[in-house]
C-alpha cells in the first residue's frame, strides 16, 4: 500500500501521540484507583481524565492532518488545472 507523502508525518505523529496517551491514561487511571476517596468520585475523575486526554489528543493531531489535507487538495487542483490547460480549455 502506497501512502501519500503528505500523510507520513500525520501518521507518525498520530501513532506517537496515541501511544503516549495510552501510557498516560493507564498511569492516570492507576493513580486515581489507588487514591483515597469514594468510588463515585474516582469514577468521575477517571471520566474527566479520559475526556481531557481525548480533547488534548485531537488538538495535537488535528493540525498535522489539516495541513496534509490542504497540500493534497492543492496538488489535485493544480493537476486538474494543468489537465484543462493542456486540452486547450480556459482555466
Residues 29-49: tens digit of each pLDDT: 999 999 999 999 999 999 999
pTM over 0.85: no
Residues 42-82: tens digit of each pLDDT: 999 999 999 999 999 999 999 999 999 999 999 999 999 99
Q: Per-residue pLDDT for 1 more than 60? A: no
The pLDDT value recorded for residue 5 is 83
Q: Per-residue pLDDT for 91 more than 60? A: no
CA separation for the pair 13, 7 (Å, rounded): 10
Q: Per-residue pLDDT for 85 more than 90? A: no
Q: Per-residue pLDDT for 89 more than 70? A: no
CB 43 within 8 A of CB 26: no
**Which helix (DSSP H) or strand (DSSP E) does residue 77 occupy?**
helix 39-86
Amino acid at each position: 500500500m502506497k501512502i501519500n507523502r503528505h500523510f507520513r508525518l500525520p501518521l507518525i505523529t498520530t501513532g506517537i501521540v496515541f501511544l503516549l496517551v495510552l501510557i498516560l491514561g493507564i498511569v492516570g487511571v492507576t493513580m486515581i484507583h489507588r487514591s483515597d476517596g469514594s468510588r463515585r468520585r474516582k469514577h468521575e475523575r477517571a471520566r474527566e481524565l479520559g475526556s481531557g486526554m481525548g480533547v488534548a489528543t485531537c488538538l495535537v493531531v488535528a493540525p498535522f492532518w489539516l495541513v496534509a489535507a490542504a497540500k493534497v487538495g492543492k496538488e489535485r487542483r493544480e493537476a486538474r488545472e494543468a489537465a484543462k490547460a493542456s486540452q486547450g480549455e480556459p482555466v
